[in-house]
Chains A and B, each alone.
Chain A
Amino acid sequence: GENVEQHPSTLSVQEGDSAVIKCTYSDSASNYFPWYKQELGKRPQLIIDIRSNVGEKKDQRIAVTLNKTAKHFSLHITETQPEDSAVYFCAAKAGGGADGLTFGKGTHLIIQP
């Protein structure tokens, strides 16, 4: 089955700086890669996703890049703000809508004032 590795497990950055979280996956059939943000005691919230036919996607301060050859994808957050502090999860999925997501173990992003 699919295996998703996520690094780092904790990331501390100064407010206003950029943050990068990296994930690798093992199944070359995976074609959908979402990122979720989870605040303490809350549900995971989908913040951005990318499909295998696209190399990069941006949404305001958030961007995701995908390298299919190397089987890795990354989340980039620019101009970080205190409200960006949360746990971020990457995930991967192969096939159509019926398959579940395989998640990385999460990155605790801390924004230092």
Chain B
Amino acid sequence: DAGITQSPRYKITETGRQVTLMCHQTWSHSYMFWYRQDLGHGLRLIYYSAAADITDKGEVPDGYVVSRSKTENFPLTLESATRSQTSVYFCASGALGNEQFFGPGTRLTVL
């Protein structure tokens, strides 16, 4: 579990501000994912990446931007935060075997 980390763990921001959530993994996994978790909705996929410089949209991508310049990092940016983006954000990584392993999460509050 120590192989995937997220920062910050807690963040409070205001509507309209840009926020970047960081994700770092040391397993050299090719695949990385961002999910958000909300009560009543479970976990929903925001974006995913198959390799450096390859990203694709998931179920709920609007308002988010990702990049993957290095295999080990997969930052998620909220370009102009809205209250509806208040959530717990989980990063995950995986290898070819389909298993996905989650980071500890970032709890984001948008005021």
Residues of A near any B CB (own CB < 8 A): 1, 32, 34, 36, 42-46, 49, 51, 89, 91, 93, 96-106
Contact = CB atoms under 8 A, between A and B. Distances in A.
A80 B38 CA distance: 27
B98 interface: yes
Given A32-B98, A96-B96, A104 B42 contact: yes
Contacts of A32: 98
A1 B96 contact: no
B100 A99 contact: no
B47 to A, nearest CB: 8
A27 to B, nearest CB: 13
B64 interface: no
Given A32-B98, A34-B99, A99-B48, A44 B59 contact: no
B95 A97 contact: yes
Contacts of A93: 98
B111 interface: no
A102 B44 CA distance: 7
Given A100-B33, A100-B48, A49 B42 contact: no
B102 A44 contact: yes
B74 interface: no
